[in-house]
Structure 1
């Protein structure tokens, strides 16, 4: 209960770029991998949203869905709305397990990217452009922080929840 009480009744407000900069050593990576500055179309000379479908470097492996936020304002607003609306659940998860993961439909376009039209063995990898309103958010406690300090590990537009 002490950890729960220390997290407070008021939810924190996050600026994703600042959050990532302060917590990159703990795995925070929203802007780098899903931010609006990540180029969309495939280009073998740089990290792109479409390139993730094919596992182009520097991505570690191919994925079936790859999206970026439409803009920084949408990213920050959507994440903070989720945290405010779900603070009691998030607070409990953080107090008990030190982490929280949730997904939701924002009800409006929040991101754009690609899905693999050939997923599940239905054919070769084939990136198809689409927009999405689905979001996944992962929050943890900064290791060793006292009082406990939550940070966004990642928050990204998703193809499925």
Structure 2
């Protein structure tokens, strides 16, 4: 299993990283409250290592674990079998999801992804697509306007970026999924979600950060390009077999 998401790209010097305040773009979007598993391997044992330990335990117990009777009699000894524990059920479900997700990473098209999973919260193009207007305007959704919380944004953000173009967006998201599939697969099997980030080492997006007193003072949007990307992936609740979708994938000023 891979130990952490891998960076990739050419040898172009990376843009200067903005020292933004902790609250970043999309931090409050959706219900992503679980400990994230990003390129920094946050969470220690509760992160990737913990996931691997749990899946390892499931594997040791064997896939036949999923087919155990909840109660009954051992025909060899005549003794009663104990009911399957909650842990058994949880491990069995995780192992089933892991198996069903498969060893081959999926190929994602963001336009189709966002269309199919709009009701599940997918919003890469809506918030970060290359067709979102860059500069602040009196009406309509804009990347700069998000710094100020302009309508229709429901709150201001410290950072706000869009993808440079559709080709770059799809290529970089699929490359991340392909190079980190085992980590993603583990997270989705156990927690139904994955969050990671990487440095593409070339320009992937443009946007703004709030330079006003490092986010604490009057808002002042500063333009900049970025090579950093954050990817959030989820499973559709209740789907069987599990349906994976990109909740949001966006250029960022900070990982």
Aligned positions of 1:61-80 closer than 5 A: 61-80=155-174
Q: Partner residue of 2:201?
A: 107
- Contact 1:44-1:51 at 8 Å conserved across structures: no
Aligned positions of 1:77-92 closer than 5 A: 77-92=171-186
Separation in 1 of the partners of 2:191 and 2:140?
A: 37
Aligned positions of 1:12-31 closer than 5 A: 12-31=106-125
Runs of 4+ with deviation above 4 angstroms: none
Q: Partner residue of 1:136?
A: 230
Q: Partner residue of 1:52?
A: 146
Matched position secondary structure for 1:49? coil
What runs of 5+ residues in structure 1 fail to find an aligned partner?
A: none
Deviations 1:94-129 (A, max 9, x none): 0011000001111110000001110332x3111111
Q: Which moved more, 1:111-120 or 1:46-55?
A: 111-120
Deviations 1:120-146 (A, max 9, x none): 32x311111100001000000112211
Residues paired across the two proteins, number = 160
TM-score of the pair, normalised by structure 1: 0.97
- Contact 1:44-1:57 at 8 Å conserved across structures: no
Separation in 1 of the partners of 2:219 and 2:96?
A: 50
Q: Greater strand share, 1 or 2?
A: 1
| Cα root mean square deviation, aligned | 0.8
Q: Partner residue of 1:120?
A: 215
Q: Partner residue of 2:133?
A: 39
Shift of 1:29: 0.2
Q: Which has the larger radius of gyration?
A: 2
